[in-house]
Amino acid sequence: MSEFDPTDSVYLVPRGEVGILLNANAGRVRRSLVQALRKAAPEALIFFTHSLEEAQDSIEAAIESNISTLFAGGGDGTIIDLSNRLLRYEHAPRLGILRLGTGNALATWVGARTPTEDMKAWSAGEAYREVPMRFVHAEGEAFPFAGLGWDAAVLNDYRWAKQYLKGTPFEAKPYHLPTYLAAAFGRTVPRYTVIQRRPPLVTVEVLSGSAWKIDHTGHKIGHEVEEGEVLYQGPAHMVAFGTTPYYGYAMRMLPHACIDPLRFHLRISALSMSSAINQLPSIWTGDCDDERLFDFLAERVRVTFDQEVPYQVGGDARGLRRELDLEIGGLALPVVSFR
């Protein structure tokens, strides 16, 4: 199964008004980058934002300026916030994702290169694919990937480590992935191996539509589970879900997220910590085949834990949750991919 379904995207050549939305508070948005972007795409209208309110104003200004393609620079959280705002408009511009964040899960999904390379490609008329980015909805928020359990716990520890290293040479971008791994193996792994050995128990109930289990290649196995039935009940160190395949740092946590436009990929891991560590390379590439890794495609489900677990959306911590309703959204944003 491919990450992009050829029947679900079209090839186009750049045309129409183009804009670039930059978060002025981001560390990588320096004068040199802005000058490079102006040189790469002199026809682009550049918007700078310092707050969420300014971001909303910039979106409205872009729409009023008849911008048909809006490139945005920032991490996954910035892109997800922008997407939620664009979904409110009936005729929103297509979205271009510039690789300016830390984890860059969405930039990896669309094959983004450096911001100047992508803007040069646009100005040069290089053909691109317009891919629909779909969303899972929970608690009034739309997002392309999120998770409960271990993955959110690692993110919390990573945030702590970044704060601890702030102001040191290890704050620089080349150390982000090593810091992430150090946080995982230095804090998360010991905590869940020594202190909390018993995995939480989770029940996943189908609220509407249908859902089914898939194998590690993405093919349907078993019968369809209908409304009111239990899709899964048992131990779960992690429950991940989304419509795009990547987590940060090119980890293909949800390799089957793009194979069904009407459902999202739900992954439940009952792997022990030691097994997860031993199989980390295959988990990272999305090739892990283990009987304690359960994959499903679903439309609308309720996830209920027997205890509170960490929750993250697009790589941003959202605190603790015991229960969460998940539903595939009916709207999609057209996204630029030069892949």
- For 311-338, how does the pLDDT look when each residue is reduced to its tens digit (9 = 90+)? 999 989 898 999 999 999 999 999 999 8
CA distance 73 to 310: 27
Q: Are 162 and 172 in contact (CB under 8 A)?
A: no
pLDDT band at 300 (very low <50, low <70, confident <90, very high): very high
Q: Are strands 17-23 and 67-74 parallel, antiparallel or unpaired?
A: parallel
pLDDT band at 3 (very low <50, low <70, confident <90, very high): very low
Domain boundaries along the sequence of the chain:
6-134, 141-156+195-331
| Angle at the Cα of 143 from the Cα atoms of 141 and 146, rounded to 5 degrees | 105
DSSP 101: S
CA distance 63 to 13: 20
Which CATH number is 6-134 given?
Answer: 3.40.50.10330
Tokens of 133: 């980015």
pLDDT band at 8 (very low <50, low <70, confident <90, very high): low
Closest-CA residue to 331 (of 55, 137, 147) = 137
Q: Which of 82-96, 153-167, 196-210, 266-280 has the highest mean pLDDT?
A: 82-96
Q: Are 328 and 136 in contact (CB under 8 A)?
A: yes
| 143-171 mean pLDDT | 80
CA distance 133 to 259: 12
Architecture of domain 141-156+195-331: Sandwich (2.60)
CA distance 307 to 177: 30
Tokens of 138: 């929970």
Closest-CA residue to 84 (of 92, 311, 69, 319) = 92
Q: In the predicted model, is pLDDT for residue 171 greater than 80?
A: no
DSSP 44: P
